[in-house]
A and B are shown apart, each in its own frame.
Chain A
């Protein structure tokens, strides 16, 4: 089946800098995308989501951008902090209202915040 993938497995940024984590998806039927943060030894934690009828959504220090033309999703984290160090996963869902197929996850990007 089609899959969601990430460009970079590891991203290292200086504390206080902005970071951008990228994700490519191949399923043009996907209409919902979500970013999760997973700290060591914990389950994934919801960060932000976006539907396919939007191209940008902002949260607290995070912004998700969706480019449907090139099937690209990105997560921007502003003014990174040590607590942002984690693995970040993007995921997609083809169905609306929850799906029997669950979410399809990428392999994750490990974000490292340098002091």
Chain B
């Protein structure tokens, strides 16, 4: 596609449920990033993929958070046993290998009740 796409655009879930968020990067972009943005705040880096591997997972806030990427393209961010503090906008970005400029998707707005 022309840009980074994310789904769902909005997700409302109950505390304790698991959620999966999906990111489709720009075609040909090998690097993929996940960020979290709380209301009125800046972006918090979560995890980075180069191809299918994630060299650095230290940004994930707890072991309830995990992410994977298969085929060097689509990535899913999974949050297990969601908590109310997980409510935020989850943004995905991608970039070309060797380039710093990251292009963002529209985000998934997660609300945990």
Contacts and interface: CB of A to CB of B under 8 A. Distances in A.
Interface string A98-115: 111111111110000000
A96 interface: yes
Interface residues on B, range: 20 to 34
B65 interface: no
Quick one: which of A41, A43, A103 has the most chain B CB within 10 A? Answer: A43
Contacts of A44: 43, 91, 104
A102 B48 contact: yes
A43 B33 CA distance: 13
A41 B9 CA distance: 10
B107 A43 contact: yes
B41 A107 contact: yes
Interface stretch (B13-21, B67-75, B78-86, B95-103): B95-103
Interface in A56-93: 89, 91, 93
A104 B106 contact: no
Interface residues of A, number: 27
B98 A98 contact: yes
Contact of B45 (A34, A46, A102): A102
B26 interface: no
B4 interface: yes
B62 to A, nearest CB: 18
Interface of B: 4, 31, 33, 35, 41-45, 48, 50, 55-56, 59, 91, 93, 95, 97-107
